[in-house]
Amino acid sequence: MNRQGILDFVRKHPTAYMATVEESEPRVRAMQTAHIDDEGLTFCTGVHKDVAKQLQLNPSV
């Protein structure tokens, strides 16, 4: 599947799952795709949520 095919798929299925780590334990949560364009995908979360803190500590998602 090429890039355009992936973007088309995500437009049709906007819920994705993001995995992070908290204290050596995996955390997986559903994320809604906030914005999709030719540049890629954007996900949003609040800065005070656990997922935001986990991404700041380990941005390798």
How many C-beta atoms lie closer than 10 Å to residue 5's C-beta?
A: 9
Please write the tens of the pLDDT for every residue from 35-45.
988 888 888 88
How many C-beta atoms lie closer than 10 Å to residue 61's C-beta?
A: 11
How many separate domains does the chain show? 1
Residue 49 tokens, joined: 């949520």
The pTM assigned to this predicted structure is: 0.66
* Predicted confidence (pLDDT) at residue 61 exceeds the cutoff of 80: no
pLDDT category, 53, cuts 50, 70, 90? very high
- Per the structure, the complete domain to which residue 27 belongs is given by 3-57
Residues in the chain: 61
Please write the tens of the pLDDT for every residue from 2-26.
998 999 999 999 998 999 998 889 9
